[in-house]
Amino acid sequence: MDFGEYIKLNNDTQYIHVLSKNPENPILIYLHGGPGDAALPLVKKFNYELSIDYTLIIWEQRGAGKSYSPFKKRKKPITIDVFIKDLKSLIDYLLIKFNKEKVYLLGHSWGTLIGTKFILEFPELVYKYIGCGQITNPSNMFEAAKDFVIDYSTNEKIIKKVAPINTNFSQNNWHQELMYLMKYVIKYQGSLYNKSSYISLYPYFVFSKDYSLKDCFYRLKGSQQSIDYLWQEVCQTNLESFTSFNVPIVFIEGEYDYHCSSKLAFDYYKTITSKKDWYTIENTAHFPQWSKPKQFNKIVRSLKEGSI
């Protein structure tokens, strides 16, 4: 199976893409990062192998990519809880469609926030939660990103501009300062390993048979609006107090992730008292699933219940 469809989730039309060698396989839902960084072409290109062992669902989240619609036209506020409800609606739909009882969740970056909060609320619907670029305490994570830029840079002008940034991002110019900080995390290769920009990823969108140029344009707009509407709530969401789950937890982290600090993710992992597993993928940063896809896919495939 290799098809996409638009469905109603929580009263909003959204796009999902289904990849599967065998519809009898368990469902694995990919929760993309951002917020708003829809990733269909990248997941399909680099993580297609997952469809051998799972029915892989690539969800373009509300307002992002092929699910783009302007948030400003919404009557109700756009909050993290809306995405939790969207995911619940998606899972309810998939369980009926494929006659299943539970799903696997694979969250990346912002997607780990949705995934972790979801399993706290609906553990009975999830076999296993897999986090990559796991969010813990956003303010501390961006303090770590700030320290990375300061330690790496030899430019005093950059250091002086980055050092006073408030990583709660509650200041009036929060968006400008966030973009400035992340510009140098990326430039200094703390986000995409051994790359100083994301430009190498762009062709996968432009030349994807699943993405039109309009979709590419909407992806940019969706990313921008999602940050505008959700970022300050993200920064106020601290997961560190949640240390016991009714779902097995797996973290797959890039060795040199300074975008969402893998060190802080490991510190958090050590506090979890319920069933858990940790994997480090060497010589990767925030995107191990695309920098070393064979290794990443092998790990995720091994996590299916009954795998050796």
Rounded Cα–Cα distance for residues 100 and 28 (Å): 12
Rounded Cα–Cα distance for residues 38 and 142 (Å): 22
Nearest Cα residue to 89 out of 250, 222, 97, 246 = 97
pLDDT recorded at residue 112: 98
Question: Which helix (H) or strand (E) element contains residue 74?
Answer: none
Rounded Cα–Cα distance for residues 79 and 236 (Å): 12
Nearest Cα residue to 25 out of 45, 60, 61, 49 = 49
pLDDT recorded at residue 306: 63
pLDDT recorded at residue 75: 79
Distance of CA 300 to the CA centre of its chain: 15
Rounded Cα–Cα distance for residues 29 and 17 (Å): 10
Rounded Cα–Cα distance for residues 307 and 127 (Å): 14
**Can you state the angle between helices 213-235 and 174-187, rounded to 10 degrees?**
110
Taking the CB of residue 35, how many other CB atoms lie within 10 A of it? 28
C-alpha distance from residue 107 to each of 196, 287, 297 (Å): 24, 12, 14
| DSSP secondary structure code for residue 26 in this structure | P
> What average pLDDT values come out for the chain (308 residues) when binned by 10 residues?
97 97 97 97 98 98 97 89 98 98 98 98 98 96 97 96 94 95 97 97 97 97 96 95 98 98 98 98 98 98 77
- What are the extents of the domains in the chain? 2-136+195-302
Rounded Cα–Cα distance for residues 257 and 260 (Å): 6
Residue 60: how many CA atoms within 13 Å on its side-chain side? 32
**Token output for 154:** 């030899």
- Beta bridge partners of residue 6, listed in sequence order: 15
CATH topology of domain 2-136+195-302: Rossmann fold (3.40.50)
Radius of gyration of the chain (CA): 18
Nearest Cα residue to 205 out of 60, 86, 23 = 60
For CA atoms 134, 138, 144, 146, the dihedral sign is: positive
pLDDT recorded at residue 74: 81
pLDDT recorded at residue 308: 37
Nearest Cα residue to 10 out of 92, 73, 115 = 92
Q: Is the pTM of this model over 0.85?
A: yes
